[in-house]
Structure 1
Amino acid sequence: MTTVRYCSTCGTKLETRTIDGVERLACSSPDCSFVHWGSYSVGVGALLVRDGKVLLVRRAQEPGKGYWTNPGGYIEQHEPIETTIEREVEEEAGVVARAAGIVAVRDQPRDVHNVYIAFAMEYVSGEPKPDNREVDAAGFFGPEEMAEMNVAPFTRWLVDVALNGRSDGLERDERTELPIRHAGLFKVATR
């Protein structure tokens, strides 16, 4: 893990200071207010069910090489999360799907704090075909088939959410009038 040592605003060396009761790296220049609040990554995953079976891909590279997982990946800097998951499903599995709602979130604090957002997906078109780069196999599988497969533990948990969840999850709020530019807002369904 690479440690941040210099200010990304002015290039001055960072120092450790107590800010909001937590030791944080901050710029040592009196003319700069930069604080390194931490390192974060946001991942997304697809839960696409068709005919009672869930779309899974087998990882061809680390992390998780050899494990069956749901398609997913990390968001790009200026890409809405729904666009990310739709792109990842098509890239990894050759299937076109639409993000329908958020159904699960994993919060994993560590050196790079990871937040993972799982989307219920609606099938649009295509048959599973691996990209043969990130994944080397893809298909729709039922619980009986998965029992014999090397499915990652977190994916098993997500499959249970996909097959046994009682809600479509949070939906995108398209009608908000909040003055938040380029924000994706999600909420529970309302009447």
Structure 2
Amino acid sequence: MRREYPPAPLVAVAAFVLRGGRFLLVRRAAEPGRGKWSIPGGVVRLGERLREAVVREVAEECGLIVEVVDLLDVVETIIRDEAGRIRFHYVIVDYLARPVGGTLRPSDDALEARWASVEEALGMDITNTLRRLLEEHGDKLRSLAELWSL
């Protein structure tokens, strides 16, 4: 199914990969949000389970192998063009994860990758969806990031 001007919403996954009091950010190489920082993720493939998609997407975008720990939220991203037509429509299942292997290296899908605290991320050029997630779940993310760094 095409991503731009889709005939139906697309199911996607994303992950807050937590390590050492911080979480993983990628600078998007493609629309929507090209050039903005977000968390790694992407569209679920036909026949792929959600958690499998998280592991695949993080590995593809960042080179890290992750363990998916828990569900964080389910959000919708709907972006319209100037004429009011729906250009992008994603239903995104957001998970919490932690790295268990691999080496951080951005791929073609990510212009850059880095670790950041919630406060640092809020001061960066991040996607609207990530900003909403950080505002709603920032306290939980801070607590878990600290707990998992012990």
> Which TM-score tier does this pair reach, normalised by the shorter chain?
0.7 to 0.9
User: Is the contact made by 1:120 and 1:162 (CA closer than 8 Å) also made in structure 2?
Assistant: no
Equivalent residue number for residue 117 of structure 1? 93
SS of 2:106's equivalent in the other structure is coil
Offset, 1:148: 3.9
User: Is the contact made by 1:103 and 1:161 (CA closer than 8 Å) also made in structure 2?
Assistant: no
Corresponding residue to 1:97 among 66, 77, 85: 66
Offset, 1:47: 0.7
Corresponding residue to 1:127 among 100, 103, 109: 103
Q: Which structure 2 residues correspond to residues 38-77 of structure 1 after superposition, within 5 A?
A: 39-77=8-46
Q: TM-score if structure 2 supplies the norm length? A: 0.75
Equivalent residue number for residue 142 of structure 1? 117
Offset, 1:100: 1.2
Equivalent residue number for residue 133 of structure 2? 158
User: Is the contact made by 2:29 and 2:110 (CA closer than 8 Å) also made in structure 1?
Assistant: yes
Offset, 1:108: 5.0
**Partner Cα distance (2:90, 2:123) in 1:** 29
User: Is the contact made by 1:47 and 1:159 (CA closer than 8 Å) also made in structure 2?
Assistant: no
**Partner Cα distance (1:89, 1:2) in 2:** 24
Offset, 1:67: 0.2
User: Is the contact made by 1:44 and 1:81 (CA closer than 8 Å) also made in structure 2?
Assistant: yes
User: Is the contact made by 2:27 and 2:36 (CA closer than 8 Å) also made in structure 1?
Assistant: yes
Equivalent residue number for residue 22 of structure 1? none
In structure 1, give the amino acid aligned to 2:113: A
Identity %: 30
Equivalent residue number for residue 87 of structure 1? 56
User: Is the contact made by 2:17 and 2:96 (CA closer than 8 Å) also made in structure 1?
Assistant: yes
Larger proportion of helix: 2
User: Is the contact made by 1:95 and 1:126 (CA closer than 8 Å) also made in structure 2?
Assistant: yes
Aligned CA-pair RMSD: 2.6
**Partner Cα distance (1:56, 1:101) in 2:** 18
Query: Highest Rg: 1 or 2?
Result: 1
**Partner Cα distance (2:130, 2:67) in 1:** 20
